[in-house]
Amino acid sequence: MLNTERPSAQHRELDRYADERLIAALVDDQRHAVAAVAAAQTDLARAVEAAVPRLRGGGRLVYVGAGTSGRLGLLDSVELPPTFSWPPQRALALLAGGQRAMFEAIEGAEDRADQGALDIDRLPVNKQDVVLLIAASGTTPYVIGALRAARRRGALTIALANNPGTPIVMEADIGIVLDTGSEVISGSTRLKAGTAQKIALNTLSSAMMVRLNKVFGNLMVDVNPSNAKLYRRALDLTIGATGCSEDLARTTLEACGCRVKVAIVAILGDLGVAEAATRLDGVDGSVRAALNRRPIR
């Protein structure tokens, strides 16, 4: 029996707990999710190291999953464009059952290995792409079909599963095990197994974006200020990185189309926004490298 499906030895009378004790049991069990991701840090780092050159060369991030795992992958994919100005056409998600499965359970869709392969072929995935395959069980046919098709096409395959020794972990180029064990509500992998997947996906994609020069220090300097909240964030990031006044930050951002990295380089490097943008283009968007080319005031 898979670890995630094994009945938990704890809380056998969970349904009889008073509310406070019930909440405490559910919250406490989530702590194992963090521990499971921490135990996988070496493999997570290997995945980032392998993925970044392909992404730098124009590859796409393709998330594949079913049910909770698929929805978590889609969530990670849609957050990359506003957070890091990652092109939306390079952050794709495949769900068993199609996009409708985001909002309702499409029973039986996860059992279609042939559909997983077909969805990969329809993109089509290529050798520059990075395919993230997510399945708590590690045995989901739809995900296995997608994995095998992606490998045939030469893509880098990275698997996330909550059970060791399972097909997607063993067959992927890099298999990452998030061994969360049995669930407090037995078999409900939307609980700590899903939490561990969310943490791991956040960690992977954020680390990739750091390596792709989307971050300066620990500041999210490639944000796409597409609404009032994000415009305010762009202002605060510019001020925080440069120590300039709000007026100068606002004027510079308006002059460069609200590109925070350009504003930072222009202000710290005492440059016009056009020259700041050119310098960034010449160093693959690295704020630090662009600034090192000219003494800072």
Active site residues: 79, 110
Structure tokens at 98: 């199609």
* Contact (Cβ atoms closer than 8 angstroms) between residue 11 and residue 184: yes
User: Cα dihedral angle (142, 144, 146, 147), rounded to 10 degrees?
Assistant: 160
Residue 186, φ and ψ in degrees, nearest 5: -55, 125
Cα(237)–Cα(185) distance, rounded to whole angstroms? Answer: 43
Distances in Å between the Cα of 70 and the Cα atoms of 67, 123, 190, 204, 209 are 5, 17, 11, 16, 21
- Give the full edge-to-edge strand order of the sheet including 61-65: 91-95, 61-65, 130-135, 156-161, 174-177
Distances in Å between the Cα of 243 and the Cα atoms of 53, 217, 249, 253, 267 are 33, 14, 9, 14, 9
Report the SS3 class of residue 16.
Answer: helix
Distances in Å between the Cα of 221 and the Cα atoms of 16, 33, 67, 113, 284 are 50, 29, 33, 40, 14
